[in-house]
A and B are shown apart, each in its own frame.
Chain A
Amino acid sequence: MRPQGKKPFPSHILVFLAPAVLIYTVFMIYPLLDSLRLSLFAPGEGRGELFVGLSNYRTLLTNEQWAPRLWNAIGNNFLFFAVHMLVQNPIGLFLAALLSSHLIRGKAIYRTLIFTPTVLSIVLVGFIWRLILSPLWGISADALDLIGLGNLNRPWLGLESTALITLSLVSVWQYVGIPMLLFLAALIGIPDELIEAARVDGATAWNVFWRIKFPLILPTVGIVAVLTFVGNFNAFDLIYTTQKALAGPNFATDILGTFFFRTFFGVQLQPGNPTMGATIAGVMFLIILTGVLLYFFGWQRRLQRIEY
């Protein structure tokens, strides 16, 4: 802090700030930094650890035992994210557009009910969908029969080709309420006069939405995208609950969160490795940071330039 004459720093400000800053620093900032530091070490003799520089990262990126697992997890994670961007957010936008209509009544009820899955634990959601999709119970077969596609039924979670997409869609089912609410808030915030003016000029509802409303809610589109990105690259619970730490079948559903957990704690015969775990956390940190910075400096900056 810069010296300001001879006045001492007011003590009440310190009292107000200290508890939050202390807890936040000790249990969040310090562990994040210490974890990054640990990724530069390897287990040494006894309890100590040896500084190895970036060699953990090199191992992770090039070693034939680690690299395929890492790239598999990163690839799967991007697919997981892509499904959310292409399915969850458009459905959220569509529902928000319907809910922002002045025509209908009972909007609060629809909104509340559609948001219900979002408040449930993803552990429960994972198990619920495992039951629904279980060939034993046959609910998914019945549902496909209903729309005449009965012969398409598969053990969705058991096949390498379908497991990850299926779980991504389960996650979409659960979290679609969040983009829906964010888009809804943005749509409600658009001044009526703007829309009124377009209507007087004879624009159709479709044109009003895409030419006027959508450009106005672009900031929210960016927020939804970055929240989805951070959430997806931090995901873990759903895969762990439905497919266990091994993220089967044959690592087809392995994402960075499960890879991190497995490496840190070990699984079956493979012992846990804290420093490699920290290295994977370091990779996740870099990916998330890149996404967030792209949002702040790419998307938001450009929007501001358009606005003014």
Chain B
Amino acid sequence: MLLRRPGRGLGYWTQLLGTHAALLAYTAFALFPVVLVILNSFKGRRAIFRTPYALPNTDTWDLVGYRTVINGANFGLYFRNSLIVTLGALIIILLVSSMAAHALAEYDFPGNNLMGLYLAVGIMIPIRLGTVSILRLMVDLHLTDTLWALILVYVAQGIPLAVFILTQFMRQVPGDLKDAARIDGASEYRIYALVLPLVRPALGTVAVFNMIPIWNDLWFPLVLASSEKSKTIILGAQIFLGQYVNDWNAVLASLTLAMVPVIVLYIIFSRQLIRGLTSGAIK
């Protein structure tokens, strides 16, 4: 408790109001640009420049930007590609990392610590630095311009932190439970299946943690999968925005289209995300 004085004096109220004022001001600063873009995406060109701060009304309402976007770029396909890459990478990250974490947390085999360390090295080294060789590798594997190239790179990038976090959580699962199952004749694979639901919160953390950087990445789509059929939404938006840079309606509409799904997902998952960021931080 900050203040426990029985009478709430002037100090209490100034502190309360001051805190709210500062937080409100910063919130407005954080949201203002986003709101401004969304609002103006529904207006005609003239209104965008004349009355940028006004809500769209019957006079200024105009969806011309959205029509340009729908005719000018294949956003439906890009969106589908982003969805496949993000979900595909997440599922594989969760599966292979939880298996590895189970091995590290459960079994005392020679080289356990060394293996944990090897898998943790990638937490601090950005995978981008290996781009030259990743591109060569993908060319050799005939995977360029496929979604698999992106999925594999994102899985490799996600494994280190996922294994690290999941190992911590799996170590906390009580041993009695597993021993009881073993006495009943359960195989080691059965034990893994038993442990997995018990660390569900940690799996959620890892999923949300990986989702945003994968969805938002520009670098690897640009380098590995820039063909029309494999473009992700961010690369598609980036190219579209570059081409239509002077068509303000189209720019605002495409920004809104690319932003809104992420904001909706964020609002749904914000609790998990924020918990993940705060508990997943390497202590």
Contacts and interface: CB of A to CB of B under 8 A. Distances in A.
A292 B129 CA distance: 15
B133 interface: yes
B61 interface: no
Contacts of A116: 30-31, 34, 263, 266
A23 interface: yes
Given A24-B119, A121-B258, A281-B129, A9 B192 contact: no
Contact of B278 (A24, A32, A121, A184): A184
Interface string B1-44: 11110000000100110011011001101110110110000000
Contact of A234 (B15, B126, B133, B259): B126
B52 A29 contact: no
B214 to A, nearest CB: 11
Given A98-B22, A102-B2, A32 B33 contact: no
Interface in B91-136: 92, 95-97, 99-100, 102-104, 107, 109-111, 115, 118-119, 121-122, 124-134, 136
Nearest to B277: A181
A137 interface: yes
B165 interface: no
Contacts of B267: 112
Interface in A8-30: 9-10, 12-13, 15-17, 19-21, 23-24, 26-30
B90 to A, nearest CB: 14
A35 interface: yes
Q: How large is the interface on A (under 10, 10 to 19, 20 to 34, 35 or more residues)?
A: 35 or more
Contacts of A257: 128
A218 to B, nearest CB: 13
B34 A120 contact: yes
Given A113-B27, A121-B215, A21 B122 contact: no
A110 B23 contact: yes
Contact of B34 (A38, A128, A289): A128
A119 B27 contact: no
A104 B20 contact: yes
Nearest to A282: B129
Given A95-B26, A123-B238, A178-B277, A281 B266 contact: no
Given A10-B107, A12-B189, A237-B218, A20 B234 contact: no
Contacts of A99: 23
Given A139-B52, A236-B128, A185 B262 contact: no
Q: How large is the interface on B (under 10, 10 to 19, 20 to 34, 35 or more residues)?
A: 35 or more
Contact of A98 (B23, B99, B129): B23
A34 B34 contact: no
A115 B132 contact: no
Given A20-B99, A113-B31, A131-B251, A9 B109 contact: yes
B36 A139 contact: yes
Contacts of B163: 20
Contact of A119 (B12, B15, B137, B262): B262
A20 B110 contact: no
B164 to A, nearest CB: 12
Contact of A95 (B23, B223, B263): B23
Interface in B141-159: 152-153, 155-157, 159
Nearest to A192: B1
B255 interface: yes
B130 A28 contact: yes
B274 interface: yes
A121 B96 contact: no
Given A119-B263, A119-B266, A32 B110 contact: no
Max chain B Cβ within 10 angstroms of own Cβ: one of A2, A31, A99: A31
Contact of A21 (B100, B110, B216, B274): B100
B76 to A, nearest CB: 18
Contacts of B103: 13, 16-17
A230 B125 CA distance: 8
A236 B221 CA distance: 13
Closest A-B pairs by Cβ, 4 of them? A31-B130, A185-B278, A27-B156, A20-B100
Interface of B: 1-4, 12, 15-16, 19-20, 22-23, 26-27, 29-31, 33-34, 36-37, 48-49, 52, 92, 95-97, 99-100, 102-104, 107, 109-111, 115, 118-119, 121-122, 124-134, 136-137, 152-153, 155-157, 159-160, 163, 187-189, 192, 212, 215-216, 218-219, 223, 234, 237-238, 241, 248, 251-252, 255, 258-259, 262-263, 266-267, 270, 273-274, 277-279, 281-283
30 contacts: A15-B189, A20-B96, A21-B119, A26-B156, A27-B137, A27-B152, A27-B156, A28-B127, A28-B157, A31-B127, A32-B133, A95-B26, A98-B22, A103-B2, A103-B3, A104-B19, A115-B270, A117-B34, A119-B216, A121-B234, A123-B218, A123-B237, A128-B255, A185-B277, A185-B281, A223-B281, A237-B219, A277-B132, A285-B129, A288-B129
Interface of A: 1-2, 4, 9-10, 12-13, 15-17, 19-21, 23-24, 26-32, 34-35, 38, 91, 95, 98-99, 101-104, 110-117, 119-124, 127-129, 131-132, 136-139, 173, 176, 178, 181-182, 184-185, 192, 196, 199, 205, 219-220, 223, 226, 230, 234, 236-237, 240-241, 257, 260, 264-265, 274, 277-278, 281, 284-285, 288-289, 292
